[in-house]
């Protein structure tokens, strides 16, 4: 099958070239959007990532170009207008799970670094500064961790935090029995915000969860609590979080995703003028750690993404049952 890959980075090419045996792939660095959609001409499928924009207009243009398949090489599909895709008879496939451990462990890495300030210690030592002043952290043991969304990633994350000796409470629209058996207690959201020392987000972005973290529930959180978002940027109302950091209500913020990330993340902008004032403000706080959507970025996950995406495309081409279809 001829496939146009959008938003590709060197590591995408490396892993897909390693596992691709029969498809004709054209790689583009560019994001898929209204301006770039014509690049898909001559292909039968597009393969896209988290920040490609497949809205009504783009999907209709893709259809006109003869595209029959959208193969997402990620789990989340909030960037695809599924209603339009369905009405156009286009198939959308995804990689529902590619090492939930990768993302869950990255959430833990953010917590550990924010708490014990290892990034600051590393820089201090390199400059010959062996002082411990202002590096005080806290024991995770005995702290209450609130997990919002206890699906594949939330389950792994909650289990790791139980291993630290934390009390884990959770909120989800559906309960996870395995976690309940391990001692996780489900509570309503206000209780979770009120009792947690650390809140970690692992639910999808949709109309119910958009700006789930806003001024009202930041006010319900324990003063000085830590918030970690490795899920999707749109879960957080960024100006509200900046305000909570400024007034000390929020003690720490770890974020691997950002609502306006599509213009920033995955690019080297070190020689550019960054126009996004909100990210610049966030970057200026000493108690904020930002990573550029790297939660998934492990060898195991990249292998899984490439092999499952290619298998999805094979299944479609050969008319087999589509296990990973997005309905």
What residues line the site for ligand NAD (CB under 6 A)?
Answer: 75-76, 97, 100, 103, 148-154, 171-174, 202-205, 208-209, 230-232, 256-257, 293, 295-296
- For residues 308 and 127, give the distance between their C-alpha atoms in angstroms, rounded to a whole number: 45
What minimum distance in Å lies between the beta carbon of 135 and ligand NAD?
Answer: 27
What minimum distance in Å lies between the beta carbon of 30 and ligand NAD?
Answer: 21
C-beta nearest to ligand NAD: residue: 151
Residues 6+ positions from 110 with CB-CB distance below 8 Å: 228, 230, 254, 255, 256, 289, 291
The answer to whether residues 147 and 176 touch, using CB atoms and an 8 Å cutoff, is no
C-alpha distance from residue 40 to each of 53, 55, 56, 118 (Å):
14, 15, 16, 45
Q: Which pair of tokens denotes residue 193?
A: 């915000």
What minimum distance in Å lies between the beta carbon of 212 and ligand NAD?
Answer: 7
Q: Could you say which of 73, 232, 259, 262 is catalytic?
A: 232
Give whichever of 73 and 202 is closer to ligand NAD, judged by the CB atom. Answer: 202
Q: How many CB atoms lie within 10 A of CB 292?
A: 14
Q: Which pair of tokens denotes residue 185?
A: 């207690």
Give whichever of 113 and 148 is closer to ligand NAD, judged by the CB atom. Answer: 148
Give whichever of 146 and 251 is closer to ligand NAD, judged by the CB atom. Answer: 146
- For residues 93 and 72, give the distance between their C-alpha atoms in angstroms, rounded to a whole number: 6
C-alpha distance from residue 223 to each of 60, 194, 212, 220, 251 (Å):
48, 9, 18, 9, 7
- For residues 294 and 316, give the distance between their C-alpha atoms in angstroms, rounded to a whole number: 29
Q: Which pair of tokens denotes residue 69?
A: 């398949």
- For residues 7 and 97, give the distance between their C-alpha atoms in angstroms, rounded to a whole number: 20
Residue 171: phi and psi, rounded to 5, are -130, 135
- For residues 83 and 80, give the distance between their C-alpha atoms in angstroms, rounded to a whole number: 9
Told to judge if 271 belongs to the known catalytic residues of this protein, a careful annotator would answer no
Give whichever of 36 and 176 is closer to ligand NAD, judged by the CB atom. Answer: 176
Give whichever of 209 and 312 is closer to ligand NAD, judged by the CB atom. Answer: 209
Q: Which pair of tokens denotes residue 143?
A: 């702290």
Told to judge if 232 belongs to the known catalytic residues of this protein, a careful annotator would answer yes
What minimum distance in Å lies between the beta carbon of 75 and ligand NAD?
Answer: 5
Q: Could you say which of 261, 262, 272, 275 is catalytic?
A: 261
What minimum distance in Å lies between the beta carbon of 52 and ligand NAD?
Answer: 15
What minimum distance in Å lies between the beta carbon of 136 and ligand NAD?
Answer: 29
Give whichever of 126 and 177 is closer to ligand NAD, judged by the CB atom. Answer: 177
**Among the listed residues 165, 169, 107, 108, the one whose alpha carbon sits nearest the alpha carbon of residue 140:** 165
Residues designated catalytic: 232, 261
């Amino acid at each position: 099958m001829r496939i146009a890959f959008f938003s590709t980075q060197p590591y995408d090419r490396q892993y897909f070239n390693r596992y691709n045996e029969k498809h004709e792939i054209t790689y583009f660095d560019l994001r898929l959007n209204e301006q770039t959609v014509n690049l898909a001409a001559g292909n039968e499928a597009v393969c896209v990532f988290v920040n490609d924009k497949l809205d009504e207009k783009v999907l209709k243009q893709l259809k006109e170009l003869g595209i029959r398949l959208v193969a997402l090489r990620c789990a989340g599909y909030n960037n695809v207008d599924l209603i339009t895709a369905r009405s156009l008879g286009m198939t959308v496939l995804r990689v529902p799970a590619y090492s939930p451990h990768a993302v869950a462990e990255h959430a833990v890495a953010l917590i550990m670094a924010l708490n014990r300030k290892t990034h600051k210690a590393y820089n201090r030592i390199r400059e010959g500064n062996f002082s411990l002043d202002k590096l005080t952290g806290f024991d995770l043991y005995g702290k209450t961790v609130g997990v919002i969304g206890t699906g594949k990633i939330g389950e792994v994350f909650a289990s790791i935090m139980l291993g630290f000796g934390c009390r884990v409470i959770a909120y989800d629209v559906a309960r996870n029995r395995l976690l309940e058996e391990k001692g996780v207690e489900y509570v309503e959201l206000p209780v979770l915000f009120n009792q947690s020392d650390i809140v970690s987000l692992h639910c999808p972005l949709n109309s119910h969860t958009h700006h789930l973290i806003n001024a009202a529930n930041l006010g319900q959180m324990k003063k000085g609590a830590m918030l970690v978002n490795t899920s999707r940027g749109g879960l957080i109302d960024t100006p509200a979080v900046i305000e909570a950091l400024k007034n000390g209500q929020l003690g720490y913020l770890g974020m691997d995703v950002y609502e306006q990330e599509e213009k920033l993340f995955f690019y080297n902008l070190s020689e550019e003028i960054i126009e996004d004032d909100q990210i610049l403000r966030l970057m200026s706080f000493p108690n904020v750690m930002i990573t550029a959507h790297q939660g998934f970025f492990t060898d195991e996950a990249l292998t899984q993404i490439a092999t499952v995406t290619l298998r999805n495309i094979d299944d479609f081409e050969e008319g087999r049952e589509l296990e990973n279809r997005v309905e």
